[in-house]
Amino acid sequence: MRRVFYAQSGGVTAVINATIVSLIRHARLENISVYVGVNGIKGLLQKQIVNTGLLLEDDLEKILYTPGGSFGSCRYKLKAEDLPIIKDFLVKHKFDAFLYHGGNDSQDTTSQIANYLAIEHPHILCIGLPKTIDNDLHGTDNCPGFGSASKFLNYSFRQACLDVTSMSEDSTKVFILETMGRHTGWLTASCGLAHSKEFPGPQLLLMPELKHSLEKKLDYVNEYIKKDRFCAIAISEGYQPNITTQSKDAFGHHQLEGSGSALAELIKKELNVKVHLSIPDYLQRSFTPCLSKTDFDQAQAIGHYSIYCIKHNIGHNTMISIVRLHDDPYLWSLDHTPLNKVANQEKAVPRSFLDKTGFALSEIGLNYFKPLIAGNVAIPQDSNYFEKFWTHLLQKKNEFIDHSFQ
């Protein structure tokens, strides 16, 4: 029986669990055993490994729709001394494949392990699985997790703008929503889907890739207040941040904050209007009531395809990638991208996705984003929605930890 080690890394999403559930289900059909590291690669290093063979189908059905990463994640930068430990573990316990599920930094982790194993153990397949709401991975048209996060933001914007419109006569004139996005503005740009002639807002999209003069921003805000009675703005956290803390994660990334509040204060001061700022933060990242069916389907397909790769021994030192074949009707397939073209790289939003003003989506941008938030997922519900979630592994990990690895 073949053995696979899998772990989740980095920020979680609304569909990261859909991938591991699909992977486990298809592995069982192929007589492949799947073991999961608790809290990412740290689970391997600490010998905290879940034997998914102990999970019942009822567990898997609940995990499928549970937000967040049910097996725990981490932000851990691999050290040189970790590599021989990882190699010895995989070799000693006769693993056939190593699957790591994450974003830019996680793909670098997979690449390092693949290169280290290639010297003496090239038979151990190392594959990266894509995941990030930032949508900034090279080599893939889009990233699982992004579509559902974008859908949450678009639903939020449409409803918030209707709220603000109702009160705009003598209350809020400017509504600002700050999205996640450190160096790229994919989530912010996608918020342009909520804007239309009949339902204006957000009228301005402010992203790290394209900065505008203060004068130009204020002119457009003023123009939309006159035209629509209010102006709604989507702004990336990395547009013009204040680094108010010296705290960094394991990869040296500062926690960014302040883009939205700085803009709010500026508009209040210069235009003397009431401004409201909203920061959804983690809500946008992992909110299963707003699952995009496209996102959900692609996440599951990647889990299924991972097992196909293991069965046929293909895809070593690559990341599974999504290829767009057609916009309308939306068609896609799966392929591979070499990890060295993905690791530690960030894909920016193309200028062509914005119109000539640089504040709104172009037709190209609309066609790109629209199918990614399409479709709804019917989550099985009863009188208590929350009972459909799976209790986080940390609450009951002793039931599933395989102590033979310790």
- Mean pLDDT is lowest, of 113-117, 124-128, 194-198, 385-389, for 385-389
- Single pTM value for the model: 0.94
pLDDT in the model for residue 406: 76
Q: What percent of the chain has pLDDT over 70?
A: 92
Domains of the chain: 2-133+289-344+378-405 (3.40.50.450), 146-284 (3.40.50.460)
State yes or no: pLDDT of 396 exceeds 50.
Answer: yes
State yes or no: pLDDT of 379 exceeds 90.
Answer: no
Instruction: Give long-range contacts, CB 8 A cutoff, 24+ apart: 351-357.
Output: 351/209, 351/210, 353/189, 354/189, 354/205, 354/210, 357/220
Q: What is the mean pLDDT of the chain?
A: 92
Angle in degrees, CA 404, 394, 31, rounded to 5:
50
> Which residues lie below 8 Å from residue 176, measured CB to CB, with a gap of 6+?
232, 233, 235, 260, 263, 264, 275, 276, 277, 278
Catalytic residue selected from 134, 136, 295, 297:
134
Q: How many CB atoms are located within 10 Å of the residue 231 CB?
A: 29
pLDDT in the model for residue 244: 43
Q: What is the mean pLDDT of residues 104-120?
A: 95
State yes or no: pLDDT of 342 exceeds 50.
Answer: yes
Q: For residues 306 and 235, what is the distance between their CA atoms, to the nearest angstrom?
A: 36
State yes or no: pLDDT of 242 exceeds 60.
Answer: no
- Bond before 371 cis per omega within 30 degrees: no
State yes or no: pLDDT of 28 exceeds 90.
Answer: yes
Q: Is 382 helix (H, G, I), strand (E, B) or coil?
A: coil
Q: What is the mean pLDDT of residues 245-272?
A: 73
Q: HEC string of 266-304?
A: HHHHHHCCCEEEECCHHHHCCCHHHCEHHHHHHHHHHHH
Quote the DSSP letter at residue 253. Answer: P
Confidence at 250, pLDDT banded by 50, 70, 90:
low
Q: Which residues of 290-315 are buried (b: 16+ CB within 10 A; e: fewer)?
A: bbbbbbbbbbbbbbbbbbebbeeeeb
80 CB burial (10 A radius; 0-12, 13-18, 19+): exposed
Of the candidates 50, 60, 72, the residue with the CA atom closest to the CA atom of residue 24? 60
- Bond before 338 cis per omega within 30 degrees: no
Q: Is residue 281 among the annotated active site residues?
A: no
* Residue range 151-183, pLDDT digits in tens: 999 999 999 999 999 999 999 999 999 999 989
